[in-house]
Amino acid sequence: MMSLRKPSMLLRIKREPFKKVALYSALLLMCVHWVHADVPEASLPIEQYHNAIERVEAEQGAYATELADLYLGLGRALVNDDSLTEAQRALQRGMQIERVNLGLDSLSQTPYLYLLADLDASAGDHEAAQEALDAIYRISANNFGATDARMLEPLNQILSWQLQQYHNKPAKKAFAHVIAAEYAAQRIARVLNTNIPMSDPRAPKLFKKLATVQYLIAEHVDRYGLPSESGFQITSGASGSTSSQSVTGLTYYRRGKSALESRVNALTQQPAEDPIIQASAIADLADWYLLFGQIQSARKTYQVAYETLSDDRVDADVRNTFFSEPVKIDFSATSRQDPSNQKPVQINLWITATGRVKNIEFVDPKEKLEEQEIRAIRSSVRSSRFRPRLTAGIPEAIGLQLSWANPAQVNG
């Protein structure tokens, strides 16, 4: 087989029916069918991909359009075989063929670029991985325009990739993904503000996503600081200060607040507006105020959320119970912890009218827990903030019993 050449530097593979001529072997047709079918990756042996590629090159030349899909399949098969260097070469070769046949800005390069970004990230070459994602953005923007509504798909994929990478790494080493997620979020915001009307059904979910990114950044900087500066705090824990002294912290607070306000606005303009969904969104905005120490704003906004349920369309039982119990506030995009193997611990605690935790008591005998586990659970509970119980829209303290995941089991 001819050697693979490295090119200069994925959304959808170009899907064109292959010409059924006698020159193509049955093997090639099998390979092509696999590339376009929804079957497990690498269902064909690597050797068969090599053979099919050699046949097409011999019959049609080194840049035949059919080769791109075969190289993509070969690359995936090599990844599954842990032959990562060879996989990278195959993907680069397939992407080069796409560029030769369809142009430097062909969208068909997108799948290759995502796989190459994964390979670079797994190899620790984060700069190369980011270059691949930047190429995806650039190609999409050149085809659609930077603020076109069609940019939401690649931008959401890029944001999800960055968030996944962030949560797969020790937080202190993941700051580059925080910055990249912020860039993606800003670009999504520009698309929303330019070409997505508030009545669009995608708008509420997208505004909520923007807020989660701002919270992730604020929480990361609060815990680990910035490379060049640190010092702002958010009030997610019982001992947190009531305001931020950092311009950085205020920036993320304001951006998240703006996104959540826009979400509420978007929900009111939906064709089938739902007062329960609206009340929940307004309560999320109140939660945001509470996390960042804006107690009076939080109380006023909780009152508005409660009053929203006075709509005749809301059942009386729902109205009376919707805010009757505290709820843990969580703006996390994804979680670093896998709770699948955890055995929750029963605890009693007191939630104040400002959502803070007090008087933690273990229902399960402490003898069943090691001291390390007890400390981890207490720390996890104390660092959490709750939406308080609302009585007639007024925050109220209450005691309750909860099942709490044991973080020591996950981290251990």
Kindly state whether residue 288 falls inside one of the protein's structural domains. Answer: no
CB 36 within 8 A of CB 68: no
Residue 289 belongs to some domain of the structure:
no
User: Residues 316-368: pLDDT tens digits?
Assistant: 899 889 999 999 999 986 655 444 456 788 999 999 999 999 999 998 766 67
Rounded to whole angstroms, how far apart are CA atoms 119 and 82?
Answer: 10
Residue 178 located in a structural domain: no
The two three-digit tokens of residue 380, written as one number:
């996890």
Its domain, for residue 45, covers: 1-124
Q: Are strands 345-351 and 327-328 parallel, antiparallel or unpaired?
A: unpaired
- 233 vs 240, 250, 291, 293, CA distance in Å? 7, 10, 10, 10
Round to whole Å and give the CA distance between 284 and 228: 32
Residues 152, 141: Cα–Cα separation, whole Å = 11
Which residues on adjacent β-strands are paired with residue 350? 358, 399
Cα-flanking dihedrals φ and ψ of residue 186, to 5°?
-65, -40
362: CATH = 3.30.2420
Q: Are 70 and 95 in contact (CB under 8 A)?
A: no
Place of tokens 């796989």: 115
CA distances from 370 to 62, 286, 377, 382, 407 (A): 64, 37, 11, 18, 12
| Single-letter residue type at 46 | I
**Residue 2, domain CATH:** 1.25.40.10
CB 64 within 8 A of CB 83: no
Q: Which residues contact 118 (CB under 8 A, 6 or more apart)?
A: 129
Strand order in the sheet with 357-362: 357-362, 345-351, 398-404
Strand partners, 221: none
Q: How many CA atoms lie within 13 A of 152 on its CB side?
A: 17
| Residue that is written with structure tokens 């929480």 in the block | 219
Closest to 159 in 3D by CA, of 127, 126, 136: 136
Of the residues 79, 94, 124, the one at which a domain ends: 124
Sequence-ordered alpha helix ranges (H) in 225-359: 247-268, 275-291, 295-308, 316-321
- What span, in angstroms and rounded, lies between the C-alpha atoms of 117 and 327? 38
Domain boundary among the residues 124, 157, 180 is at 124
**pLDDT at position 22:** 32
* Residue 144 domain flag: no
- Calculate the average pLDDT of the chain: 83
Ranges of residues in the chain whose predicted pLDDT is under 50: 1-42, 229-245, 337-340, 410-412
DSSP character string of 188-248: HHHHHHHH--TTSTTHHHHHHHHHHHHHHHHHHHHHH--SS--------STT--SS---HH
Residue at 166 is within a domain: no
Specify if 200 maps to a domain. no
Count of structural domains, the chain: 2
pLDDT value of position 247: 62
Name the phi and psi angles at 88, rounded to 5. Answer: -60, -45
The residue out of 82, 108, 124 marking a domain boundary is 124
d(CA 158, CA 132) in angstroms, rounded, equals 10
Nearest to 287 by CA among 345, 341, 228, 236: 236
The two beta strands, 389-391 and 394-396, are: antiparallel
Asked, for residue 369, whether it belongs to a domain, the answer is yes
In a domain? residue 394: yes
